[in-house]
Amino acid sequence: MRFLHVNVFSDVPYGGNGLAVFPDATGLDPDQMLRITQELHHFESVFLFPSDAGAGPRIRARVFDLSEELDFAGHPVIGAAAVLHRLAGMGRPADWTLELKARTVRVRVRQDGRSYEGVLDQGAASFLGQPDIEGLASWFDLEPRDLHPDLPPQVVSTGLRYLIVPVRPGVLDRARIRFDLTEPLHQVGAQFAYLLDADELEGRHWNNDGILEDVATGSAAGCVAAYLRRHERLAAEETVTLRQGRHLGRPSSMTIGTYDIAPDRHGVRVGGHVSLVAEGHLTELPRGTPPR
Query: Using one digit for the tens of pLDDT, what is the confidence trace for 241-251?
Result: 999 999 999 99
Is residue 271 pLDDT above 80, yes or no?
Answer: yes
Backbone angles phi, psi at 208, to 5 degrees: -65, -25
Amino acid 263: pLDDT: 80
Quick one: what percent of the chain has pLDDT higher than 90?
80
What are 172-195's pLDDT values in tens digits? 999 999 999 999 999 999 999 999
Quick one: what percent of the chain has pLDDT higher than 70?
97
What are 50-84's pLDDT values in tens digits? 887 655 688 999 999 988 998 888 899 999 999 99
What's the chain's average pLDDT?
A: 93
The two domains 2-122+274-281 and 126-270 share their CATH topology (first three levels equal) = yes
Instruction: Mention the CATH class of domain 126-270.
Output: alpha beta
* Mean pLDDT confidence for 97-106: 89
Smallest Cα–Cα separation from 274: which of 45, 118, 119? 118
* Mean pLDDT confidence for 127-137: 95
- Cα distance between residue 60 and residue 80, in whole Å: 11
Amino acid 273: pLDDT: 96
* Mean pLDDT confidence for 222-233: 96
Q: At what angle do helices 74-87 and 218-230 cross, to 10 degrees?
A: 120
What are the sequence ranges of the domains in the chain? 2-122+274-281, 126-270
Amino acid 199: pLDDT: 97
Least confident of 28-32, 100-104, 226-230, 238-242: 100-104
Is residue 40 pLDDT above 90, yes or no?
Answer: yes
Confidence at 289, pLDDT banded by 50, 70, 90: low
Smallest Cα–Cα separation from 75: which of 121, 12, 7? 7
* Residue 150 neighbours by CB distance under 10 Å: 9
Backbone angles phi, psi at 9, to 5 degrees: 70, 35
- Cα distance between residue 42 and residue 154, in whole Å: 29
- Cα distance between residue 241 and residue 200, in whole Å: 10
Amino acid 61: pLDDT: 96
Smallest Cα–Cα separation from 58: which of 35, 84, 32, 79? 84
CATH topology for the 2-122+274-281 domain: Diaminopimelate Epimerase; Chain A, domain 1 (3.10.310)
- Cα distance between residue 178 and residue 210, in whole Å: 7
Residues 11, 112 contacting (CB under 8 angstroms): yes
Amino acid 255: pLDDT: 97
* Mean pLDDT confidence for 83-87: 95
- Cα distance between residue 136 and residue 144, in whole Å: 8
* Mean pLDDT confidence for 238-243: 96
Backbone angles phi, psi at 213, to 5 degrees: -105, 140
pTM score:
0.88
Smallest Cα–Cα separation from 10: which of 113, 87, 117? 117
**Residues in contact with 162: Cβ distance below 8 Å, sequence separation at least 6, in sequence order:** 155, 156, 190, 191, 192, 193, 194, 219, 220, 223
Amino acid 264: pLDDT: 81
What are 8-34's pLDDT values in tens digits? 999 999 999 999 999 999 999 999 999
